[in-house]
Amino acid sequence: MRGIVISLLLAVWLHVISGMPQEGAFLISTEFLIYWYIFWSAMLGIFYCLLMLGLFSAAKKYKFHFIKEIDVSKLMLAAGITSVIGIIYFIFRQMLLIGGAICLHRSLIIKNSGHEWDQNYLVAALICILIVAGTTGKSKNKIKNNN
């Protein structure tokens, strides 16, 4: 959600300080938002893959003998299933963020006589944002309630 705030500040700066029309500021700020989400998706994806690779290589290299009743292969299976679920959640969330930003960018159609809003793209962007906010909000509430 930081990207939305930065994009909003960029649009305000372009319109108020630079004197750009609202439509142009909207298009530039939503295009910035698309690239923001693509960049952070790639960075977080690379970090997540390196983290999982490091954890699996450490688990394979060192033999765990702290609990004799639990086999290391069962721990690895549990870690693998958890990481696959995390990767699926991460990919789904990032696809919704990027897709919502693209829909938001395409919602404004500039014509010779002015501009026009495509409501289908606006609704799709709103749905993407609400799904991401809903899934993120649930996990934050669970963490707050446990503490």
Return the pLDDT at 60.
63
Alpha carbon 91 to its chain's center: 8
Pairwise CA distance, residues 12 & 7, whole Å: 9
Cβ burial 124-139 (10 Å sphere, 16+ → b, else e): bbeebbeebeeeeeee
Low-confidence ranges of the chain (pLDDT < 50): 140
How many C-alpha atoms does 84 have within 13 Å on its Cβ side? Answer: 6
Tokens 């690379």 -> residue: 46
Q: Would you say 135 and 100 are in contact if contact means Cβ atoms under 8 Å apart?
A: no
Confidence (pLDDT) at 30: 93
